[in-house]
Structure 1
Amino acid sequence: MSPILIKTIQFFLSLSLLIVLHELGHFVPAKLFKTRVEKFYLFFDIKYSLFKKKIGETVYGIGWLPLGGYVKIAGMIDESMDTEQMAEEPKSWEFRSKPTWQRLIIMLGGVTVNFLIAFLIYIFTSFYYGDTDISTKSIKNGYWITNTVLTDLGMQTGDNIVAIDGESYTNYSDLRKNLITAEEVTLERDGETKVITLPEDFLGKLSVNTERTFFELRVPFMVGQVSDSSLNKGAALEAGDVILGINGEEIKYFDQFPSKLQQYKDQAIVADVLKEDGSSKNLELQVDTEGKLGIYRAEHPLRFQELGYYDIVQKEYGFFESFGVGTKKLVDQIAGYGQQLKKIFTPSTGAYKGVGGFKAIFDIFPSTWSWQAFWSITAFLSIMLAVLNLLPIPALDGGHVMFLLYEMVTGRKPSDKFLEYAQMVGFFLLLALILFANGNDIYKAIFK
């Protein structure tokens, strides 16, 4: 199966699952409070549906436009803009006839389900898979700084990142994740401590940078595949071989090879190769005119651990213990995403430049099937969907909640005409955000 097809299946499966469950979060309390639900749709059915079937008083269907989904609740001003129904006298089974607290529960049902989905995923993946990470204390010679935004700030390969915003991290993944919204980085270089203050627009600069990574672990040059066009196609190299040096000189890390090979352009070299069985072998290889070997590198964390490059930490959790772990993951992910949103809505940070649409979400999924990765990404997207839906924008759940809270506090319900105008404003604002996000995707695809 092609990598693109695998990514596509994961993308649609994840989003479809989240959309259906989100709408179910509105549907169930609506039915419990005896409110009529006229439609329940996955995707939008503008003009026609791919599938629809009426069961009881509700039409269930699948639309052709995969931009979300919806439930149409009778007596409610929503994206359907059904003003004719609102002009009639309220019926007992309509949304507008229900007590405010019931309407509030119906509107909060979707985001509640999304948070619950993420929580359950974190619980069961923690229990089933545990957590695998790399201990930052085991990193001996710093990190490979791959992003020019970081090098322009004075960071360099070999720096050991010991703290972010004054806090140290024991796990490599936490270190990477928290750098995105950091304001200050503490480094150790040649035994000296150095503090780098990140500019306000740091996240914005990262967003427009074409380099996909920030920094990486320093690992050896492990052979993955020899290119068909490589001068070394016939060499006795095998996947899993590790090149530890050339011409008698030890080269411990892959990041050291590019500059070293430049010295041997269009020349033969003798490579010190470590085989998977532990034996060593000297092989003659050819460096091309660009200073390259034409060999794709491979990643093998367990082998790297065996060679002493870092320590892998594997944690396993009991069933009840996984509830506490899942709670912490949920809270940390919400807090982290909240920080990113705060920066996105602060123009001076430039973070809005990195806002992406459907392609950006598509790119998150791996090109090989992994249930662990699938559920991890789905949990994150569920949180993202919940937080975005809580934004106080009419046409989103947060906008309806905002007006309901106003009604509960003041005892006065906004007029239907006001809600209609607010829904229209919210719809166009939401459309603008969608166009901006997906426009960013298109711009990056063409010009980056």
Structure 2
Amino acid sequence: MIQILVKTIQMLLCISILVIVHELGHFAFSKLFKVHVEKFVLFFDPWFSICKKKIGKTIYGIGWVPLGGYVKIYGMSREEQNMRVDSSIREKISNNNIKFCSKSSIKRLLIVSGGIIFNVLLSIFIFSGLLFLYGEVKLPTQNVKYGIEVDSLGKEIGLQNGDKILFVNGKFIPYFNDISKEILLGEDITVDRMGNIIHLSLKNEKKRIIFDKKEFNFIIKPRVPPIINSVIKDSLAYKCGLKKNDEILSINSDLILFSDQIKDILYKNKNKLVSISFNRNEQLMNKQLILDNKGIIGIYLKSFVDMDQIFSFEKKTYSMLGCIYHGAIHTYMVLKNQILFFKNVFYFKTKAYKQLGSFFSIAKELPSEWNWEVFWVLTGTLSIWLAFVNFFPIPSLDGGYILLIIIEIITTKTISEKFVEKSNIIGFFIISCIMFIIIIWDIFKVFFS
């Protein structure tokens, strides 16, 4: 229950930050150009609001549907010029030009684009801040000396434990951290398999293997020696005396070189007496135990991040300006990868559309224990995604308004108000249907998978 509560609070905080910053973009440019903002609302408020307060000439409130938010800008529709407005600003309207529709095309374009601009800036700010606080730790691909360890999904697309990845899409990937992402978005892999050069195709059929899953979990790790990281109390390993930092060398007559070999060998010998040889502080030791019917002995093995003595990591820190520069680069790369993934959504053979999700998927990605670094990475990623989606030239989205204003600038003609109104109704209907389908699909994935 506590884990669900932590995830829910993180999700609501994440959505709140994204919505407030987005709407603040519209609000800030409206104020800059002296356009009256009637309402600033976090979350949607059909029928009623959780709370609201009038400050100055603007009503600020919190709705009860956590799917977004809005600012109501006076004069977005030319018909609003004739509508009745608050008596406290009626005199000001008659004396000053505070209507959106009365501003120049460039000013209207900036007001409408404000949300997108602020979401991009938020993403850059978050990634810059993370670089400043934590620096950047990367593993050069050339330092992955033992090749890779793959999960069952990796094996399905043709990879094997011990493969050394040479190229993805004919391009050398300098840092191992980026390889999984490049494979997801790529079309072919070149690997060195025990001295043989193998080319693996990642066409739509293989992409389908990756994306056509209820649980999306594609993992590639560096292959590592089998060194114990921790022993579960009262487990078979605990009772027979295995300890942290013991390096397992063999099980019965099977020589063990890498962590990925252990699980299969233990399972093969389930319900049997096994002899485990291991290295403890440069001393060869041996223990015997009888496995259970699952072949589990109760140990956690070290991952590559725990092996600085084997893998040489590059640790980078940046100046303030360097953090901003690399934060902007990181934002661009996140956006680029999102666009490349989005392209796969429209290739129905890949079934990448199955990985689309709503706030339920967001909550699932958040840790069950509060972790600020993970929270801000996800928030920064979603912020640039929100900017990208809002840029779509669909009526009722920011991108739809941007397109209409650009058409007006190019043609120097005012677009019919009836056309704009009908377009927004159609656009709103399309977006509502898409959101409804995604939410229903997400509920099905999360609760009934």
Task: Give TM-score, length-normalised by structure 1.
Answer: 0.89
1:142 and 1:218 in contact (8 A); partners too:
yes
C-alpha contact (below 8 Å) 2:361/2:446 kept by paired residues:
no
- Aligned pairs for 1:1-400 (under 5 A) are 2-76=2-76, 85=80, 88=83, 92-148=97-153, 150-209=154-213, 210=215, 212-219=217-224, 220=226, 222-226=228-232, 230-232=235-237, 234-238=239-243, 241-247=246-252, 249-274=254-279, 281-293=285-297, 295=298, 297-299=300-302, 301-306=304-309, 308=310, 310-400=311-401
TM-score, reference length from structure 2: 0.89
Q: Deviation digits for residues 212-240 of structure 1, max 9, x if unmatched? A: 12422323353545277x55564434556
Tell me the distance in 2 between the aligned counterparts of 1:423 and 1:59: 24
Count of aligned positions: 437
The secondary structure found in structure 1 opposite 2:307 is helix
2:442 is paired with a residue whose SS is helix
| Deviation sequence 1:333-353 (CA, Å, 0-9, x none) | 221111112222343443222
Question: Distance in 2 between the 1:46 and 1:225 partners?
Answer: 54
Q: Are the structure 2 counterparts of residues 274 and 54 from structure 1 closer, same or farther at C-alpha, using a change threshold of 3 Å?
A: farther
TM-fit CA distance, 1:151: 2.6
Point out the more displaced range, 50-59 or 260-269.
260-269
RMSD between aligned residues: 2.6
Are the structure 2 counterparts of residues 278 and 422 from structure 1 closer, same or farther at C-alpha, using a change threshold of 3 Å? farther
**What percent identity do the matched residue pairs reach?**
34
The Cα offsets for residues 45-70 of structure 1, whole Å up to 9 and x where unpaired, read as 11111111111121111111111111
Give distance in 1, aligned partners of 2:444 and 2:144.
38
Alpha-carbon deviations, 1:136-187, whole Å to 9, x = none? 1121222122143x43343222111111111111211111121111011111
**Per-residue displacement from partner, 1:382-420 (whole Å, max 9, x unpaired)?**
110100110111121111111111111112222222222
Query: Offset of 1:42 from its aligned partner?
Result: 1.0
Q: Which position in structure 2 is the counterpart of 1:80? A: none
How far did residue 211 of structure 1 move? 5.5
Report the 3-state secondary structure (helix = DSSP H, G, I; strand = E; otherwise coil) of the residue aligned with 1:49: coil
What letter corresponds to residue 336 of structure 2 in structure 1?
A: A
For residues 283 and 222 of structure 1, the distance between their equivalents in structure 2, rounded to whole angstroms, comes to: 15
CA contact (8 A) 2:49 2:63 kept: yes
| Contact residue 246 and residue 278 of structure 2 kept, 8 A | yes
Instruction: Render the CA deviation track for 1:275-320: whole Å, top value 9, x for unaligned.
Output: 6x77664333331123332x252545453232x2x33221122223
**Structure 2 counterpart SS, 1:305:** coil
Q: How far did residue 359 of structure 1 move? A: 1.7
CA change 1:123–1:425 in 2 (3 A) is same
Gaps of 5+ in 1: 78-82
Give the conservation status (yes or no) of the 8 Å contact 1:164–1:184: yes
Residues 259, 301 of structure 2: 8 Å contact kept:
no
Change (3 A) 1:269 1:236: same
Bigger shift: residues 321-330 or 297-306 = 297-306
Partner of 1:416: 417
Residues 262, 357 of structure 1: alpha-carbon distance in 2 compared, 3 angstrom cutoff:
same
**Distance change >3 Å, CA 256–CA 86, structure 1 → 2:** farther
The one-letter code sitting in structure 2 at the alignment partner of 1:171 is Y
Distance 1:441 1:299, change over 3 A: farther
Change (3 A) 1:436 1:151: same
Q: Which amino acid aligns with 1:95?
A: F
Cα distance change, pair 212–168 in 1 and its aligned pair in 2 (3 A): same
Secondary structure in 1 aligned to 2:369?
coil
Letter of the structure 2 residue corresponding to residue 49 of structure 1: S
Amino acid across the alignment from 1:222: I
Cα separation, partners in 2 of 1:224 and 1:435, compared to 1, 3 Å: farther
Equivalent pair of 1:227/1:296 in contact (CA under 8 Å): no
Please state how far the C-alpha of 1:424 moved relative to its aligned partner: 1.4
Return the letter of the residue paired with 1:253.
F
| Alpha-carbon contact 1:204-1:353 (below 8 Å) kept | no
Unmatched 5+ stretches in structure 2: 86-92
What is the CA deviation profile of residues 348-371 of structure 1, one whole-angstrom value per residue up to 9, with x for unaligned ones? 443222211112222222233332
Shift of 1:198: 1.0
Distance of aligned partners of 1:242 and 1:217 in 2 relative to their CA distance in 1, 3 Å threshold: same
Counterparts of 1:26 and 1:444, CA distance in 2: 35
CA distance in 2, matches of 1:413, 1:202: 49
Equivalent positions of 1:426-445 (< 5 A) are 426-445=427-446
Q: Summarize the Cα distance change of 1:215–1:44 in structure 2 as closer, same or farther, 3 Å threshold.
A: same
CA–CA distance in structure 2, aligned partners of residues 214 and 303 of structure 1:
17
Q: Match of 2:88?
A: none
Most deviating of 351-360 and 3-12: 3-12
